[in-house]
Amino acid sequence: MDVLLTPFEYDFMQRAFVAALIVGVLCSVMGTYVVLRRLSFIGDGIAHASFAGIVIAYLRKADYAIGAGIVAILTALGIGFVNRRGGVSLDTAIGVLFTGAFALGIFLMSRAPRYSVDLQDYLFGNILAVSATDLQVIVGLAVVVAFAILLLFRPLLYSSFDPVVAQASGIRVPLVDYVLLVLLALTIIVSLESVGIVLVAALLVTPAAAAAQMTKRFIPMMAIAVAIGAACSVGGLYLSYYLQSASGATIVLLATVVFFIALALRRAL
């Protein structure tokens, strides 16, 4: 029992566990749509694009989360626009826009005089540094994303499985796709503090990919993904506390182990 309760003696660990649980659940819900639509690359792309927003916010002495959020949303919408209106394949649009935004961040950083901010927390995450204010932002954004998913559950579901039939039935598929991209961008912003730019795509994809090995039905897949995401986020945080390892990396590694276990079980049955 002491093993379970000892980390909760510290306020920063209490905040970290709440943040980990929220991020694990939210990423798993969004990850179900990402895996179903085969958009695994887009999470990585939007996360890296947000780096430009962090640098711009630093130069303007603004909040880093706001800067990252604005650029992430603009990149997500840009990907959708270039894909739909420009006739460019989705993977190409992602590759062009995220590398362009990331390069912009590096360019601005190189031009900044006496650039001294430590970017490690944004690249690799530092969930132990989540403050009470950060947690309020995480909870607020998570509520917004969760409410939007509940409100648009049917259109999101139909347009994910068969966009042609969904369009014919009256669902505005292009608008739904844009909303999904914005929700994905917000989910990534929620997760940056916890797992960082480098690892956020893995947390988006891996729990849902593990769930996909166990069932092909959408609602059970989402439920299993949420259970895996929550368990790996909290379990990974426990492991990182006792192993004194990087929290974000430990969470993602645990999710990866669960994925291979699920894959092995599927092949064995």
Q: What percent of the chain has pLDDT over 70?
A: 96
What would the mean pLDDT of 37-55 be, rounded to a whole number? 87
What would the mean pLDDT of 105-121 be, rounded to a whole number? 71
Place of tokens 């826009």: 97
Q: Among the listed ranges 20-34, 93-107, 191-205, 229-243, which one has the minimum average pLDDT value?
A: 191-205
Reported as a single tens digit per residue, the pLDDT across 79-95 is 989 988 888 888 899 88
What would the mean pLDDT of 167-196 be, rounded to a whole number? 88
What would the mean pLDDT of 25-54 be, rounded to a whole number? 89
What is the average pLDDT score of the chain?
88
Please enumerate in sequence order all residues whose Cβ is within 8 A of that of 204, keeping only pairs 6 or more positions apart, or say none. 27, 30, 31, 34, 40, 43, 184, 187, 188, 191
> What is the predicted pLDDT for the residue at 114?
65
Reported as a single tens digit per residue, the pLDDT across 65-81 is 889 899 999 999 999 89
Q: Which domains does the chain have, with CATH numbers?
A: 2-259 (1.10.3470.10)
Length of the chain counted residue by residue: 269
Question: What whole-number distance in Å separates Cα of residue 50 and Cα of residue 71?
Answer: 6
> What is the predicted pLDDT for the residue at 1?
63
> What is the predicted pLDDT for the residue at 152?
92
> What is the predicted pLDDT for the residue at 126?
81
Q: What angle do CA 217, 186, 53 make, to 5 degrees?
A: 145
Q: Among the listed ranges 109-123, 165-179, 208-222, which one has the minimum average pLDDT value?
A: 109-123
Reported as a single tens digit per residue, the pLDDT across 2-24 is 667 777 788 888 999 999 999 99
The tokens for 232 are 């790996």
CB-CB contact of 250 with 20 (8 Å): no
- Among 153, 185, 159, 157, which residue's Cα sits nearest to residue 172? 159
Reported as a single tens digit per residue, the pLDDT across 208-253 is 999 999 998 999 999 999 999 999 999 999 999 889 888 888 999 9
Residue 206 has pLDDT above 90, yes or no: yes
Q: How far is CA 77 from CA 149, 175, 200, 218, 247, in A?
A: 18, 11, 19, 26, 31
Residue 145 has pLDDT above 90, yes or no: yes
> What is the predicted pLDDT for the residue at 155?
92
Residue 115 has pLDDT above 60, yes or no: no
